[in-house]
Structure 1
Amino acid sequence: MTDSAETTDTMIRWDRAEDGIVVLTMDDPANSVNLMNDSFFASLKSTVERLEADRESVTGVILTSAKRSFFAGADLTVLRRTAPERAPELTRASDELKGLLRRLETLGRPVVAAVNGAAIGGGLEVALACHHRIALDTEGSVIGLPEVTLGLLPGAGGLTRTVRMLGLQKALADIVLTGRLFSPRDAQRHGLVDVVAASPEDMLGQARRWVLDHPESAQPWDVKGYRVPGGAATSHTFLSQVVVPFSATVRNRGRGTPMDAPHHILAAAVEGTQVDLDTALAIETRYLAELACGQISSNMIKAFHFDSEHIAKGGSRPEGHPRHQARKAVVLGAGMMGAGIAYSCARAGMEVVLKDVDLEAAERGKAYSRTILDKAVERGGIGEHERTAVLELITPTTRAEDAAGADLVIEAVFENTELKKKVFAEIEPHLAPGAVLGSNTSTLPITGLAQGVSRPEDFIGLHFFSPVDKMALLEIIVGEKTSDATLAKAYDIARQLGKTPIVAGDSRGFFTSRVIGTFINESLNLISEGAAPASVEQAGLQAGYPTAPLALCDELNMKLSQKVRKEAIEGYAADGRTLPHQPAYDVIDRMVDEFGRPGRLDGAGFHEYADGKRVRLWPGLADAFGAGTADIPLIDMVERMLFVEALESVKCLDEGVLRSVPDANVGSILGIGFPAWTGGVLQYINQYEGGPAGFVARARELAERYGERFEPPASLVGRAERGELYEWPRNRTGV
């Protein structure tokens, strides 16, 4: 016999068996996942009160979920709306939640979390308030505290409890500051869960046995004599040997950007080890409120949750077309990009024909997949059987006829229009009817390339980013004759590959290459003006770019920049136009032609290299370009880089090259390294002090000082005058 009753709210179901074990099943009726919202608060409050009232008849508690996931964390819709004036409200809510979780873990009865699926952020924090955690080993389940990636910290007790469970250094370095999401078994290895179960029945069975075997359960920190693993940050030795070096690491990682979350995490953790648990929880709340009510977390939540969700749900996918799954792919060209694309296709379960003019090159392309898979086996991420199965899907070849029946082609040969047309002409007769004809070009207009195939309606740009196995973005480019059916297929293929797709209209450079080109040019314009190279690099890092601008130029190679510019000049000429000249072009030409320093590949660029590693900036820059002779404020350098990309993105939206605001924001962060703290290129305009109006005023100031390229487009000026933000959904003109 069991007694079953709903709580005051219907989110937590109560089931008590004859042995006195209460199973609490979370099931938010208003959402597909359990969220930390008002419904959860009300349900938890009534549940805890009932447990306390019925304590003598309760043997123990098992907390689980009726959803496919365990708990998805905080309701980000609420957090996105926070502002400084809401800090007291957020503090009260956080303190109330922590108080309820504290009452649960001090109930005096064993409490087990039966984590039947993903436990992310607040979801894991709820589980950490339990005495024992059993995770179901189910596909797609992830466990972790990703708050730092949203500009936040785990504020429902997660930071305080992980530090007390694992120690300051391990909790921060492995869990909280990385924001990593772990598989159930990896979570067990890192100490976030205690046991991994093979089936739901096994999970609940183990939970019951643990409850019965541990009737007097308490958290380690509630046991007399408890000490934080590794010690608390109270002694001079601990502070000097652990905290100070760790603080330096966090500061260096921040590089002077406005990202406060890592600093606040460290501060809350260190301060929390010096006091009792309840005071530590209050300290955690104080730092959370400051982050959650600031602009940076709002930016990052918008980009990494709302904009990303818009894309994942097919925001730019044409409606009315059936879902598509590619089965056999042909990759043309087995260089680094082609090899990476072949690997991604095989990992997605496609049969892959990796074709090159040279069989040895094609074999090397397959070997790239072997190397990645071997490392995954060594780490324990996959087994030998899975490794073998993926490799067997890849067939290196020089024969076009091996493409027979393929429903997807991805061309990844050199950026040469005639060569691309040639390889398509050779492969097209062997393909299945309606096969998607994809080109991995990063700059060449798709409409022109489509003239080399018999079915231009099936031709589309599939612009991958290097390294393909690590970069999440796929830029889909629609040509003049590309059909909506082909676009829908391409969108589905991107999702099949595990990529985040954005959709761009056809133009030279599309969105990503066009916009990142303005960033590189602006960095080199600074060099031409006599800016100190070290300051240019520092400005890029302080802006939040993942790679300093001159180092990026070296990585991309300036010979390639010259080649792309030559193609652009020819393209402009064909349209009866002239490519506007920039001083950056003169810098590139002199670096390549006069000094023989095209970049890292050649062992010499803006930096000097030894054994392929960057050593220092080339001292010759001073004589070559008068480096350091100009007095340009660092803030101007920083904002010139950010503004020039944001302004170019507005033009892309105006011209229909961009189809949505989310595509712009997510694409800029994932594809070209626009600083994550901004929320993306268009959100950067929204969040600038004074909003779009403040951005317009600053842009005009930069234009007056540095050139007309900073003049804001009329569409942006109009938006600023109307007091409008760049939001979504939007049509092709962004209005």
Structure 2
Amino acid sequence: MTEVTSAFSLERRDDGIAVLIMDVPGESMNTLKAEFAEQIAEQLDEIEKDNSIKGLVIASGKPSSFVAGADISMLAGCESAQDAEALSRSGQQMFQRIEDMKIPVVAAIHGPALGGGLELALCCHYRVCSLDDKTVLGLPEVQLGLLPGSGGTQRLPRLIGIQKAMTMMLTGKQLRPKQALRDGLVDDAVPHSILMAVALEYAAKRKPKREGPKLSLVNKALERTPFGRNFLFSQARKQTSARTRGNYPAPERIIDCIEAGVGSSNGYQTEARYFGQLVMTPESRQLRNIFFATTEMKKETGVAGVKPAKIAKTAVLGGGLMGGGIAYVTASKAGLPVRIKDIRSEGIAHAMKYSYDLLIKKVKRRFMRKSEMQKQLSLLTGTTDYSGFADVDLVIEAVFEDLSLKQQMVADIEQHARQSTIFATNTSSIPINQIAAKAERPEQVIGLHYFSPVDKMPLAEVIAHTGTSDETISTTVDFARRQGKTPIVVKDGAGFYVNRILAPYMNEAACILLAGEPIEQIDKALLNFGFPVGPMKLLDEVGIDIGAKISPILEKELGERFRAPEAFEKLLADDRKGKKNKKGLYLYSGRKPGKDVDDSVYSLLGISPAQKFSHDQIAERCLLLMLNEAAMCLAEEVIRSPRDGDIGAIFGIGFPPFLGGPFRYMDSLGIKHVVARLEHYQGLYGDKFAPAKVLKEMVEQDKTFYS
């Protein structure tokens, strides 16, 4: 029988301080696993029996992480809420034992202390963290549809106050070292080089008296009086309900746990019970699927077995909004120098200012030192010609959606850059094979489609045409990942994947509007369904003119089902481009720009608005067309797998994460049900609702997308 290597080791020092080191064998980061309970118990038994130990420091044996959280995969083994509740109780008991120790216990934190990792630190008597960019502290369980289940909902409010703790847990917000120190989450934040020395000093102290957080007079009235707390929790529930629209159960349960623990020990039982219940919810299951999918994708190259080439210097063509955003993530995330070219010096200045504005906000909020901001800005340089392009490894083109202009850009780069330079185009609609049609080195031309705003949207579509080389694909995927993006490899074709499945959804929303449905009702229906923004508001955000440009390309390449309603032409004839020129479907003047509908749109379109459909009907009509198109994309191998299709829709257009993406959602509805509803609407509104052939075949063969 193979002996199991413990993840914990104890080092005794001559001064009576012991150091308990966690180092999970064979893994780059520490994660807490169910089987560790016994290992920790053995170490604690040994410490408690040894009277020579006067203090304890808990530290990580990993060079760049404390504890990144609990191992989420162990939840898959829970067959009932009771099983998951038992896991929570086990964690609570283990951490309570640490808190109850008679000697001072100090957490020496370097790198991520997240989820169960922070809960481990919270049960210690002192916390000292390193002043390092790698160090972050947070309880992000809500992002997996869960709540902190090892005492976090109880200890954090007592340490930093109810309001700050609630914000951290409800948003999954992570604190940097200086923020953590300011909020009282840690007792000290010091350079990494002296972290252990300072932690040992704290361990030599007597166990501190827990005084609780320092609060202002207003916050004392809110947090330390029954009336104030009732008001606080009531407002939190109202705001949470407005934000989640009832689609996510975890935030409400987090508030319940915090409230149950105020002045009572019942909070731990409430925490364990609700943790158990949340583990078994379909919402948490789907959110955990997304976590596993993205984790799996990080390990993949663009083409299996093909290593990426080294990228040391980049360039961006075009200093507009997209160009500025691409330059920012390349410098700030990838840490690579970027040469920005624009035909006007004003364009270069605009792109530079884009990065400056984002970075100065971080400096003002103390997320970043000014010296670090200056270092990142120094990576950006500009030119109105091609000087400085001779040694560029990868060029990203972000100019206007004009085929001849983009082909000229390819020719220019082939003339002014090195022979190995990759040309990546950020087109949102033009097939890559057309852009590469006149290229001397078409194998180095590839699509790299970002979503706006680039600094916030996590997806990047990597689009290979038939002549793109495998090395170019792998290199581009690796580069996008370095920029902080989640890349999916997509087959070349009109609309690629994300815009292709979005277009029928948007067109159907426009058809519903032209039938007289009020704009706010259409948007509310899809917001309630779980999208972050309604389709009408999204049209304004993206630009009505952009939608009008993309639709004919899709219709020409993919057929009549992509024909856009005539509404586009009427809106553009009235110079309504949306938010960009402050004239669209919504009003952009007054005290609440973008909040109220511009009622003059109705007379322009010749309709009298009146609510005719339920929110469920509106959402179903729009969604079915998106689902149907996603199935066609998979059948045509536009995407490589249902997983990529789900991640692309969630990260690219905000498909509701709690539903798992279009393919997992179809599986949960049942493919037979999806086909039946498509046929129902086909009878009412025509062949644009005709079910995809692949869906019909799946019904006949009783198949699902995920077996």
Superposition TM-score, scaled by structure 2 size: 0.92
Q: 1:94 to 1:345 in 2, by over 3 A?
A: closer
Match of residue 118, structure 2, among 111, 116, 124: 124
Report if the CA contact (8 A) 1:551-1:607 is conserved. yes
SS at match of 1:607: coil
In 2, Cα distance between equivalents of 1:327 and 1:461: 20
SS at match of 2:31: coil
Report if the CA contact (8 A) 1:151-1:296 is conserved. yes
Spell out the pairing of 1:516-531 with structure 2 (5 A cutoff): 516-531=502-517
Spell out the pairing of 1:38-49 with structure 2 (5 A cutoff): 38-49=34-45
Cα shift readout 1:123-151 (whole Å, capped 9, x = no counterpart): 11111111111123344232211111111
Q: Which amino acid aligns with 1:282?
A: Q
In 2, Cα distance between equivalents of 1:717 and 1:411: 41
Spell out the pairing of 1:373-412 with structure 2 (5 A cutoff): 373-412=359-398
Report if the CA contact (8 A) 1:79-1:298 is conserved. no
In 1, Cα distance between equivalents of 2:483 and 2:228: 50
Cα shift readout 1:167-195 (whole Å, capped 9, x = no counterpart): 2111112x111202233333323332221
Q: 1:246 is matched with which residue?
A: 236
In 2, Cα distance between equivalents of 1:120 and 1:319: 32
Q: 1:282 to 1:462 in 2, by over 3 A?
A: same
Cα shift readout 1:452-506 (whole Å, capped 9, x = no counterpart): 3211111000111222222222111011211111101111211222222111100
SS at match of 1:437: strand
Q: 1:325 is matched with which residue?
A: 310
Q: 1:285 is matched with which residue?
A: 272
Spell out the pairing of 1:579-590 with structure 2 (5 A cutoff): 579-580=560-561, 582=563, 584-590=564-570
In 1, Cα distance between equivalents of 2:225 and 2:619: 39
SS at match of 2:235: helix
Offset of 1:630 from its aligned partner? 5.5
Report if the CA contact (8 A) 1:330-1:355 is conserved. yes
Match of residue 104, structure 1, among 98, 106, 110: 98
Offset of 1:366 from its aligned partner? 2.1
In 2, Cα distance between equivalents of 1:656 and 1:233: 59
Report if the CA contact (8 A) 1:528-1:587 is conserved. yes
In 2, Cα distance between equivalents of 1:64 and 1:581: 58
Q: 1:724 to 1:439 in 2, by over 3 A?
A: same
Match of residue 593, structure 2, among 577, 602, 613: 613
SS at match of 2:640: coil
Cα shift readout 1:84-125 (whole Å, capped 9, x = no counterpart): x51111112211221121122112221111123211111111
In 2, Cα distance between equivalents of 1:99 and 1:320: 46
Q: 1:701 to 1:112 in 2, by over 3 A?
A: farther
Q: Which amino acid aligns with 2:229?
A: F
Report if the CA contact (8 A) 2:521-2:611 is conserved. no
SS at match of 2:29: coil
Q: 1:706 to 1:92 in 2, by over 3 A?
A: farther
Q: 1:733 is matched with which residue?
A: none
Q: Which amino acid aligns with 2:452?
A: S
Q: Which amino acid aligns with 2:270?
A: I
Match of residue 227, structure 2, among 232, 236, 241: 236
Q: Which amino acid aligns with 2:170?
A: L
Offset of 1:706 from its aligned partner? 4.6
Say whether 1:271 aligns with 2:260.
yes
In 2, Cα distance between equivalents of 1:274 and 1:351: 54
Report if the CA contact (8 A) 1:168-1:230 is conserved. no
Report if the CA contact (8 A) 1:692-1:725 is conserved. yes
Higher mean C-alpha deviation, range 709-718 or range 140-149: 709-718
Report if the CA contact (8 A) 2:34-2:87 is conserved. no
Q: 1:120 to 1:694 in 2, by over 3 A?
A: farther
Higher mean C-alpha deviation, range 356-365 or range 96-105: 356-365
Q: Which amino acid aligns with 1:204?
A: M
Q: 2:195 is matched with which residue?
A: 203
In 2, Cα distance between equivalents of 1:708 and 1:567: 20
Q: 1:15 to 1:383 in 2, by over 3 A?
A: closer
Offset of 1:274 from its aligned partner? 4.7
SS at match of 1:213: coil
Q: 2:352 is matched with which residue?
A: 366
Q: Which amino acid aligns with 2:201?
A: R
**Identity score, percent:** 32
Q: 1:289 to 1:520 in 2, by over 3 A?
A: same
Q: 1:388 to 1:500 in 2, by over 3 A?
A: same
Offset of 1:513 from its aligned partner? 1.4
Q: Which amino acid aligns with 2:361?
A: K
Offset of 1:244 from its aligned partner? 2.0
Superposition TM-score, scaled by structure 1 size: 0.89
Spell out the pairing of 1:574-723 with structure 2 (5 A cutoff): 578-580=559-561, 582=563, 584-593=564-573, 595-610=574-589, 613-623=593-603, 624=605, 626-629=607-610, 631-688=612-669, 691-720=670-699, 722=701
Cα shift readout 1:310-330 (whole Å, capped 9, x = no counterpart): 22111x521333333322222
In 2, Cα distance between equivalents of 1:8 and 1:310: 26
Q: Which amino acid aligns with 2:105?
A: V
Match of residue 501, structure 1, among 487, 493, 509: 487
Q: 1:322 to 1:203 in 2, by over 3 A?
A: same
Offset of 1:722 from its aligned partner? 4.8
In 2, Cα distance between equivalents of 1:382 and 1:55: 44
In 2, Cα distance between equivalents of 1:326 and 1:302: 32
Offset of 1:627 from its aligned partner? 4.9
Q: 1:58 is matched with which residue?
A: 53
Q: Which runs of 5+ in 2 are unaligned?
A: 214-218
Q: Which amino acid aligns with 2:235?
A: P
Q: Which runs of 5+ in 1 are unaligned?
A: 1-6, 223-227, 729-735
Report if the CA contact (8 A) 2:544-2:568 is conserved. yes
Say whether 1:344 aligns with 2:329.
yes
Offset of 1:554 from its aligned partner? 1.2
Q: 1:170 to 1:354 in 2, by over 3 A?
A: same
SS at match of 2:108: strand
Give the count of matched residue pairs.
696
Report if the CA contact (8 A) 1:653-1:659 is conserved. yes
Offset of 1:239 from its aligned partner? 1.4
Match of residue 477, structure 1, among 448, 463, 474: 463
Q: 1:141 is matched with which residue?
A: 135
Match of residue 75, structure 1, among 44, 52, 71: 71
Cα shift readout 1:344-388 (whole Å, capped 9, x = no counterpart): 223333332211122232233223222223323323333333333
Q: Which amino acid aligns with 1:169?
A: Q
Match of residue 155, structure 2, among 133, 156, 161: 161
Match of residue 22, structure 2, among 11, 22, 26: 26
Q: 1:438 is matched with which residue?
A: 424
SS at match of 1:475: strand
Report if the CA contact (8 A) 1:233-1:243 is conserved. no
Q: 1:50 to 1:326 in 2, by over 3 A?
A: same
Q: 1:4 is matched with which residue?
A: none
In 2, Cα distance between equivalents of 1:510 and 1:436: 20
In 2, Cα distance between equivalents of 1:720 and 1:193: 56
Cα shift readout 1:703-732 (whole Å, capped 9, x = no counterpart): 44554444442323444555544349xxxx
Q: 1:108 to 1:530 in 2, by over 3 A?
A: same
Report if the CA contact (8 A) 1:477-1:505 is conserved. yes
Q: 1:598 to 1:565 in 2, by over 3 A?
A: same
Q: 2:165 is matched with which residue?
A: 171
In 1, Cα distance between equivalents of 2:383 and 2:361: 25
Report if the CA contact (8 A) 1:71-1:123 is conserved. yes
Report if the CA contact (8 A) 1:555-1:599 is conserved. yes
Q: Which amino acid aligns with 1:343?
A: Y
Q: Which amino acid aligns with 1:330?
A: A
In 2, Cα distance between equivalents of 1:50 and 1:618: 71
SS at match of 2:454: coil
Say whether 1:115 aligns with 2:105.
no
Cα shift readout 1:664-723 (whole Å, capped 9, x = no counterpart): 2222122111112222222222333xx444444444444445544444423234445555
Q: 1:641 to 1:122 in 2, by over 3 A?
A: farther
In 1, Cα distance between equivalents of 2:124 and 2:703: 46
Q: 2:216 is matched with which residue?
A: none
